[in-house]
Every structure is written in structure tokens, then in C-alpha cells.
Amino acid sequence: MDTCHTMDIKAYLQRVNLTHSKPPSLSALRELHHHHVHSVPTESLSMHSGEKIILDVLWIYDKIVVRRRGGFCYENNGLFLWVLQQLGYHPKILAARVKDPKTGIYGSPFDHMLMTVELEGRRWLCDVGFGEGIIEPFPLEDGWEEEQDNNVFRLRVEEDEWYLERKEEEAWRSLFRFTLEERTFDDFREMCEYHQTSPCSFFVKTTFCSLQLPCARLTYIGHRLISTKYTKGGGSVKTTQELTEEEIPGLLRDKFGIVLSGKLIPKDL
């Protein structure tokens, strides 16, 4: 694949429906973060259409900005890392272990990539690569609880481990846990390989594409399209539509703006 074009911050801003960049500030960071999660899906379509993911920011830029695709956390947050650096922020990379909702077990140390940015005397958690995660930067403070468009979240610390939790009905569900040890993008190489090749990886087991909408989320998974509407205080209402194999490419194009180069082989969880 030809990726000899240069990376252009203006093209990225167009991709996330912003007209121009602003100097670093909390409001500018919120806007960037918000626009990214509302424009770029979290998806595993590469693993099911014969595409190899390369942990290289130029390759990721080509996929998300030029080919208008989405990606998993290393891609979405890898691109966002580059964007923040270009715009004069000083992001620090962190690694998290994701909690499996079925088994309750946390994954490997480099399971998920996220970042912090220091602004206005506080540290802010940034994460544009976790489907059900935060929509806007989140203050890195023990016990901080905040309602965003898609749910109520809170951070909790036990010894040196931080837990990001999401409210579901009346209970808190842990999404992932992380430490504040600074990492490099390269540290995620092995897990990036694992998540696109291991039969145990959620991304290999499931074909999905999920995009945040205003107070809602649209998720294609296997042979279903799930629409979730969020209600105040952590509630949600879901509707599911069954899909035939023939309907899936058109749905990905119309609902997510995605056209794949290879044939998609759908897999249900």
C-alpha cells in the first residue's frame, strides 16, 4: 500500500469535522476529544477482511484519515497522540488492563493504550479508543465522578492502581485498570500483534464497528446492528436489528462511512 503522502493536521481536523486548530487549552482539548470519538469508529474490521494492522503512525494516519476507517485502541489513541503532539500538548502514554465483562478477569499489562495531558494545573485522562469509554477528557483524581453524554464514570485508586468505572443501572462496572507509569508507543507492539492474531482476542473473535452519536451509540457486531440510547444517570435503551451477510457492506458504508478493500467475513461473539 502506498503511504508516501505526508501527514497533515488539517486533513485530520477535516476527518473529525473541525475547521481549524486552536492553541492548547482545556476547552480545545475537550473539543478535539469529543469530535474524534463522534467521527472515528472503534472497529475490528481489519482482522476480518484480510488487513494487517501496523503499529506505525503513518500507516494509521493513512487508514483513519485518508481511507476514512476506524480502528482499535492502538490506532485511535496512536493517531490522537500524534495530533496532540502536533498541536503543542505534551501527552504521556499509559497502559491499561481491560476487564472482561464475562469472566471478570483483567487482561495483559499492555491490553489498552491511553494518555494523560497536563493542563490548568491538573492531569486529564484522554482515551479516544475505548468503545464504551469517556467522550471527553477526565480529571485524574481519586473518587472523581462525572456524567458524560453516554454514562456516568468514576475513577478510583487502590494502592498504585487506578480503575475507570462506568455506572450500569445502580452498579459500577470496572472498564480497565492502569498505573501512572509512563510508556512508549513501541511498548504496545507485542499486544497489537496479539490482539489481531490470537483466537483469544475479542477483536479476532468478533466483527464489530461502533460509533458514538449524540447521547447514543451505534454498533455493528457480527450479524446485528445495535442502537443504544442513553438516559440520565447511567441508564440505556437498546434496539437490535438482525442483518443478512449481503446487507453488511452497505450498512457499513451508509452508517459508518466505511468501505473495505477486502471481503468481510462476519463473526458473532
The burial class, CB within 10 Å (0-12 / 13-18 / 19+), for 206 is middle
Helix 73-86 and helix 189-197, axial crossing angle in degrees, nearest 10: 150
* Sheet (strand 42-43) strand order: 42-43, 208-213, 216-221, 224-231, 235-242
Catalytic residue among 48, 62, 127, 209: 127
CA distance 78 to 137: 16
- Provide the residue type at 173 as one letter: R
112 assigned to active site = yes
209 assigned to active site = no
Catalytic residue among 73, 126, 192, 209: 73
Active site residues: 73, 112, 127
